[in-house]
Structure 1
Amino acid sequence: MKVTALGGCGAMGRATSRELAENDTVDELLIADADLDAATEFADELREDEYTGEITTERVDVTDHEALVATIEDGEVVANALPYAFNVDVMEACLEAGCHYLDLGGLYHKTQDQLELDAEFDEAGLTAVLGIGASPGLTNVATARGAQQLDSVEEIHIRTGAKGGGEGFAYSAKTILDELTMEPIVYEDGEFQTLDPLSGRETYEMPDPVGEVEGFHSIHSELATMPYAFEGVETVDFRVAFSPDLVNICDVLIGLNLTSEETVEFKGVETTPREFLDWHLDRQPKPGAVEEWKSFRVDVHGTEDGESAHYRYTVVVESRLEDWGLKATAVWTGVPMGVAAAAVGRGEALETGAKPPEEVLDPEAFIAELRKRDIAIEGQRIQP
């Protein structure tokens, strides 16, 4: 099996590439990136670890449709670790090239656009897994596992948190700003509601060593799929807890109107404050590989044998500094996509089409594979 890792030497893509390089069912890994020098240097690192599969590199411009198709068409699977703005473009290339597709999520609105390609992927006999990182991804699989224990699902509550990780933006500054500034969506009493950014602040407890964190509503892909995937569910909500320092920075940026999309003219050049901010932040150094713990908690409520029941699933993922040189953010985001890409390539997807993880991956089997990689999703029945 040949898998193409798009953006495979980026912050999240490195974990996906390492997972794929270690997988015995992947005969060839193509690391395709806009920065060929970085991809080549990373491929050399992987070869030094004596992985058995072939590792190749190629420069790719995902905005060039024909070139992208030519890059991926001799492979079976594309694992897309690029910023979510390119998701639909890559999916369209996969349809033309005849490749299965996976990504790390689309922040709700982009995911909705991607779901419109469901019929085309189904007709082509291909599977597109929409959002198989940590959240969305692991959270979806954990929710599906909880739903398997219940006769009916009524409520789903998703919480994430972290400890450590250094200063600044842990991954794409643009994506994080979108998460913090776009209007969140929640599903309550069977209806979608739009809320204010950074609203719904709540203190909650995560597994050790993360502990107590403060989270808030954020725009996320789980809300684009779970209300439809789990029949009868009445409530789905999501809260994320970033570091207080990062939230304070974003509060200031929002207060100064630097996240505005309104066009302004400065010294004869038309731009927007947000466009300049994205450009500037993208050029700032990213935090190095430091100790970090990432965690989520998923609570699934419903009925079992005619009575109310509540299942909780949690995970804590630690940085892999000694062997991979990657912090937990990359590990718990990139590894699941690598595991899923190999599974889809082996023909283990439950369905064809463009679908979320809760519909296309076997949760029990997937959780078992993750455990082999020290990503242990623990479940328990919460007594009333």
Structure 2
Amino acid sequence: MKIVILGGAGLMGAGIVRDLLSERAIIDIRCVRICDSSLERMNKLKAELNDPRIDLRQLDVTNPAEIAAALDGMQLCINSVPTLAGHQMAIFEAALAARVSYIDLGGLGTYTVKQLAEHARFAAAGVTAVIGVGADPGMSNVICRAVANELDTIDSINLYWAAELVGAENPVLCPPYSVSTVLAEYAHPSTQFLDGKHVQCAPQQGREFMTLPEPWGHCEFMYSPHSEQLTVPLAEGIKEKGIREFTWKLHLPHREHEAWVGLVKAGFNDFEEPLLVDGVAIKPVDFLSALINRNIAKNAEHIPAQDSHEIHLAIGRGRKNGKACTVRCEVIVKPNPMYASYVDACTSMNASIAAQLILSTPQRAGVFAPESYFDIPSYFRELERRHFSIRLVVEN
């Protein structure tokens, strides 16, 4: 199998490469083509992994001809270019033109509806696209399907993601994923599914408190713009069960949460209008990203070792066998030596899982969200092979 990864030397892309080329692979991978704007990052990754299956291509993602050349001869394209860079649809369309299967890490809902609207074109061309296949969205969609399958009728499914850090206080702000994505989660309105219809909600609304096992403890959650709520309640086999509510909520560690709230208050929620500083125009988010990266590099010796813990939790309520029923499906990700070289093992490993499951089974042409494409037992088996803990509880 031949796989191309656009943005392949970035934080998520590099992790995807690591997992694809690991001993966990369930398909015969002959080539992983890493395409990125940074030749320095690509060379560093190739030297570290020292795998002859790696093929490097420097890529200007704004150049359609270079994208087409990157996809040439490949069987699946993984788009790990940050969504808010604005190239999602161009890469998506390039995969269709090249007749190459396509996955991405999601689009905060920004492009999800546009991509799903192209289902008929992809189906007619015999091309498979599964959108939003990281951790959230991606794995989160799959656990929602697992919950829905246990219920005869569905009143609600509520989806939560909580992160917690254990260790000494970090004096440096280290984003859990791309700066633009975190800012968008705090600064942009979100669409939730309430009372049987999609409703736009203001940023940082939907506050809810929940007590989880340690190390999370008492957590405050908030609405966040994601794609799960745009697809799951409308999915075949879920919509028909009468679902009236679907929400997605986020919890980051308290100190980090307050930092992002403050940055939005300071004006970093403006993604588009450049700021003119001494005659030089720069977008606030680009400035912030550069500043944070420089601060991390300058203060690397002051960043303490911290253990990251994640819980991905879907709670479904409805009826089963004529009785009121609550179903909980959770995936817990605790520190493990396997994750040491990953920035966000859960996201990148899930993208690798999705790519391999698509290539290892007969493909279905069209554009799909994860809850409508993957076989749950097969997916959960791959999660467990990566030491993610899964628990499904049905309470009547």
Q: Say whether the fold is shared (TM-score over 0.5).
A: yes
Cα distance between partner residues in 2 of 1:339 and 1:263: 38
Secondary structure, aligned partner of 1:70: helix
Q: CA deviation at 1:347?
A: 3.2
Distance 1:307 1:375, change over 3 A: same
Secondary structure, aligned partner of 1:42: helix
Cα distance between partner residues in 2 of 1:211 and 1:124: 49
In structure 1, the partner of 2:61 is: 62
Q: Work out which of the residue numbers 178, 184, 200 in structure 2 matches 1:178.
A: 184
Q: CA deviation at 1:126?
A: 1.5
In structure 2, the partner of 1:100 is: 101
| Paired letter, 1:252 | G
In structure 2, the partner of 1:8 is: 8
Q: CA deviation at 1:362?
A: 1.0
In structure 2, the partner of 1:298 is: 314
* 2:47 equivalent to 1:44: yes
Q: CA deviation at 1:181?
A: 0.4
Q: Which moved more, 1:137-146 or 1:8-17?
A: 8-17
Q: CA deviation at 1:234?
A: 0.6
Cα distance between partner residues in 1 of 2:255 and 2:212: 19
In structure 2, the partner of 1:132 is: 133
Q: CA deviation at 1:148?
A: 1.6
Say what the alpha-carbon RMSD is for the aligned residues.
2.3
Cα distance between partner residues in 1 of 2:61 and 2:273: 27
In structure 1, the partner of 2:251 is: 241
- TM-score between the two structures when normalised by the length of structure 1: 0.90
Cα distance between partner residues in 2 of 1:38 and 1:266: 29
Say whether the 8 Å CA contact 2:192–2:230 is kept in structure 1.
no
Cα distance between partner residues in 2 of 1:369 and 1:323: 15
| Paired letter, 1:88 | M
Residues 208-235 of structure 1: CA distance to partner in whole angstroms, max 9, x if unpaired?
A: 4433322111111111111211212110
Q: Work out which of the residue numbers 295, 317, 324 in structure 1 matches 2:333.
A: 317
Cα distance between partner residues in 1 of 2:338 and 2:315: 33
Cα distance between partner residues in 1 of 2:379 and 2:78: 17
Cα distance between partner residues in 2 of 1:344 and 1:114: 18
Cα distance between partner residues in 2 of 1:272 and 1:374: 40
Cα distance between partner residues in 2 of 1:247 and 1:101: 33
| Paired letter, 2:374 | L
Cα distance between partner residues in 1 of 2:115 and 2:293: 26
In structure 2, the partner of 1:20 is: 20
* 2:288 equivalent to 1:259: no
Secondary structure, aligned partner of 1:257: helix
Secondary structure, aligned partner of 2:243: coil
| Paired letter, 1:150 | L
Cα distance between partner residues in 2 of 1:310 and 1:376: 20
Q: CA deviation at 1:356?
A: 0.6
| Paired letter, 2:371 | E
Q: CA deviation at 1:174?
A: 0.9
| Paired letter, 1:87 | Q
In structure 1, the partner of 2:354 is: 340
In structure 2, the partner of 1:285 is: 296
Cα distance between partner residues in 2 of 1:119 and 1:290: 46
Cα distance between partner residues in 1 of 2:333 and 2:13: 17
* 2:229 equivalent to 1:223: yes
Q: Which moved more, 1:3-12 or 1:137-146?
A: 3-12
Q: CA deviation at 1:319?
A: 3.8
In structure 2, the partner of 1:117 is: 118
Q: CA deviation at 1:98?
A: 1.3
Say whether the 8 Å CA contact 1:173–1:282 is kept in structure 2.
no
Cα distance between partner residues in 1 of 2:48 and 2:335: 19
What is the aligned residue count? 376
Q: CA deviation at 1:277?
A: 3.9
- TM-score between the two structures when normalised by the length of structure 2: 0.87
| Paired letter, 1:32 | C
Distance 1:268 1:242, change over 3 A: same
Secondary structure, aligned partner of 1:345: helix
Cα distance between partner residues in 2 of 1:168 and 1:270: 26
Q: CA deviation at 1:100?
A: 0.7
Q: CA deviation at 1:291?
A: 2.2
Say whether the 8 Å CA contact 1:161–1:206 is kept in structure 2.
no
Say whether the 8 Å CA contact 2:191–2:201 is kept in structure 1.
yes
Cα distance between partner residues in 2 of 1:16 and 1:266: 37
In structure 1, the partner of 2:210 is: 204
Cα distance between partner residues in 1 of 2:148 and 2:142: 10
Say whether the 8 Å CA contact 1:290–1:319 is kept in structure 2.
no
Say whether the 8 Å CA contact 1:27–1:54 is kept in structure 2.
yes
Say whether the 8 Å CA contact 1:259–1:277 is kept in structure 2.
no
Residues 358-380 of structure 1: CA distance to partner in whole angstroms, max 9, x if unpaired?
A: 00111221111211121232111
Which structure 2 segments of 5+ residues have no match?
Answer: none
Say whether the 8 Å CA contact 2:26–2:356 is kept in structure 1.
no
| Paired letter, 1:147 | A
Which structure 1 segments of 5+ residues have no match?
Answer: none
Q: Which moved more, 1:290-299 or 1:335-344?
A: 290-299
Secondary structure, aligned partner of 2:11: coil
